[in-house]
Amino acid sequence: MRHQPGVLIVEDEPAIAELIAVNLRHNGFRPTWAMDSVSAQCELDAVLPDVILLDWMLPGESGLTLAKRWRAAARTKSVPIIMLTARGDEMDRVAGLDAGADDYIAKPFSTKELLARIRAVIRRRAPEQASGVVYIGALALDSGTYRVTFDGHLLKLGPTEFKLLHYLMTHAERVHSRSQLVDKVWGDHVFIEERTVDVHVKRLREAMGENAGHMIETVRGVGYRLTVQSSPARPSPISA
C-alpha cells in the first residue's frame, strides 16, 4: 500500500475547497479542510500534513501571516506551503515566497497544475516519501505503512530500529559514524550516548534475523554501514 500524502487546505470559500479536495482524493491524497486560521492551527496541532495549501485572503489572519508563523515554529517549519491566491502580480509572489512559502499558484488554476506543484514540493522536501518504498537487495522498507520485509517475510521492528534502518537504507553502502547516526536518527537536539547506537544496531540485527542482519556491517573504528554485498540481491515487493 502506498503512503497517501496528507494535504491541509486552508481556504474560506467552500466551493473552491471542495473542488480541490475532490480532485486530491481522486489522485491518491488525503485532504483535510480548514476554513480559517484558528481551525487550521487546530488541524496542525493534531496532525502534520505533507503539504499545506494556503489561501492568501482569509477572514482574520491572512495567509501571509500564517505562512510566516508556521515557518518560524519548530513543529511546522519543514512542512511545504503552497500559497493560493487571486493576486497574480510579482510583488505578491515575492511577498509570499519571502514569508516562507515553497511555491505559489494564482487562481484560477488547473487541477493538473496544482497536482504537479504539490508533487514537486513533496519530492523536494521528502524524497523518500515520494516513492514510499525503499529496496536494498531483498530488503524492502515502506515508510508509508511502516512495514519492513526481507525476502517477502515481515520483520518486526521497534520505532527507533525502524528509523535507524530507514536512514541506513536511504544512505546505503556508506559508512556512518555513531555520532552521525545520533544526529540523523535521534536528532541533534537530543543527548544520546554513542553506546546507545550500538544497542539499537544490535536490536535491529536481531529483529532482521540471521540473513538480513548481516547487511549491517560494523566498520571497525568508524561506525556502521548497510550493504547489499553480504546478502543475496533479490528484490521482493511488499504485499499490502
Applying CB under 5 A, the residues found at the interface with Ca ion are: 12, 55, 57
Residue nearest to Ca ion (CB): 57
Q: Please, which residues bridge with residue 226 across strands? A: 216
| Cα three-residue angle 197-202-207, rounded to 5 degrees | 125
The one-character DSSP state at 54 is: E
Nearer to Ca ion by C-beta: 57 or 120?
A: 57
Asked if 164 and 181 count as a contact pair (C-beta separation under 8 A), the reply is: yes
Nearer to Ca ion by C-beta: 83 or 141?
A: 83
Residue 84 CB, shortest distance to Ca ion, in Å, is: 8
Residue 31 CB, shortest distance to Ca ion, in Å, is: 17
Residue 23 CB, shortest distance to Ca ion, in Å, is: 18
Residue 120 CB, shortest distance to Ca ion, in Å, is: 23
Cell of 43: 488541524
Residue 102 CB, shortest distance to Ca ion, in Å, is: 19
Asked if 53 and 104 count as a contact pair (C-beta separation under 8 A), the reply is: no
Nearer to Ca ion by C-beta: 50 or 55?
A: 55
Nearer to Ca ion by C-beta: 12 or 18?
A: 12
For residues 127 and 30, give the distance between their C-alpha atoms in angstroms, rounded to a whole number: 18
Amino acid at position 79, single letter? V
For residues 188 and 172, give the distance between their C-alpha atoms in angstroms, rounded to a whole number: 21
Nearer to Ca ion by C-beta: 34 or 140?
A: 34
Nearer to Ca ion by C-beta: 55 or 161?
A: 55
Residue 55's CB is within 10 A of a number of other CB atoms, namely 24
> What distance lies between CA 51 and its chain's CA centroid?
9
CA atoms within 13 A on the CB side of 136: 23
The closest of 159, 156, 168 to 206, measured between CA atoms, is 156
Residue 5 CB, shortest distance to Ca ion, in Å, is: 23
